[in-house]
Amino acid sequence: MLARQVARVLGGAVVTGWALSLSIAGAPVAVAASCPDVEVVFARGTADKPGVGFTGRQFVTALKKRLPGKTVSVYAVNYPASWNFSKSTSEGAVDANKHVQYVAAVCPRTKIVLGGMSQGAGVIDLITVGNRIIWFFKPAPLPDKMVNHVAAIAVFGNPSRDISSLGPLTKISPLYGSKAIDLCATGDPYCSSGNNFFAHFAYPWNGMVNEAATFAAGRVLGTQN
């Protein structure tokens, strides 16, 4: 069963990356002056090229529609998204952790939305589940005070759901579980016992991207508990 789960996780695919980010090199005052209302920090999936993938574009578009009048920027987690899953995911967690803390320090009023797909969901797991071991992955837990800056989390095809000792992020994260929506399409073999490979790519069409955007927008606006 473990071998099957590892193979399924390593087969994780497409996820969004993001093209825009805050400039770390800029002077803090200049950066603060251009702070967005919302920053989406998203990790793409296995073997996906850097940038915003289709699921990610759909999620951001849907989120923006639900946040009229709000400025929304996006940051692509800088990590390999490679088939060396443990090394790649752990590196992604370090980068995501650093960026969240950077935004919180420079733009303390900016509300952060974390997101990821497949392996990218695993990246988000590693920064939000606390200092606990998950198989052969190295966690990079956010400092507890970051919970006040993260408004919402949306993950798709999260492989932790298919591990009996873990589960969806909503249950395994002590601080962020209530801020999260963890979606798994029916039959998606990377987050369930299903065997419908195409379900893993169905999030933009099956209504779950819109569901996640509605949840995240509600958390940002304070209308979603």
Q: Catalytic residue positions? A: 118, 188, 200
Most distant pair of Cα atoms in the chain: their distance: 53
What letter would DSSP give residue 101? H
| CB contact at 8 A, 215 and 151 | no
User: What's the CA dihedral at 219, 174, 6, 79 to 10 degrees?
Assistant: 60
For residue 84 the two structure tokens come to 């060396």
Q: d(Cα 49, Cα 45) in Å, to the nearest integer? A: 9
Helix boundaries (H) for 66-207: 85-106, 119-128, 169-172
Q: Are 31 and 71 in contact (CB under 8 A)?
A: no
C-alpha span between 47 and 126 (Å, rounded): 19
Side chain identity at 142, as an amino acid letter? L
